[in-house]
Amino acid sequence: MSVSDDLAGALAQLPMAGMAFTSEIGSDRKKIYTNDSVPLTEDELILLHKKGALTRDGIRRYLVDRAA
């Protein structure tokens, strides 16, 4: 799969999981997707999608691991 296909799959999964999101361009010119006030990059969305963790609980666990 291409990155754009992976990203499209991840973005399609968010509303199916009941999660709304917004997007904006960050200061580094990369697109940032914000879900429940949690900013995630395209790479992070794709990673979570591939792990089957694109849920509120999966995102929460990812953030805890990312902070550690």
Q: Looking at residue 36, what DSSP letter applies?
A: T
Dump pLDDT digits (tens) for 13-50. Answer: 998 888 899 999 989 998 999 988 899 999 999 999 99
> Would you mind telling me the total number of residues written for the chain in this entry?
68
**Burial of 18: CB neighbours in 10 Å, binned 0-12, 13-18, 19+:** exposed
What is the reported pLDDT for 2? 74
pLDDT band at 3 (very low <50, low <70, confident <90, very high): confident
Tokens coding 65 = 């691991």
pTM of the model: 0.84
Task: Give the distance, in angstroms, between the CA of residue 12 and the centroid of all CA atoms in the same chain.
Answer: 11
- The answer on pLDDT for 57 being more than 70 is yes
Q: Which segments within 1-68 are labelled E, that is strand? A: 22-25, 31-35, 38-41
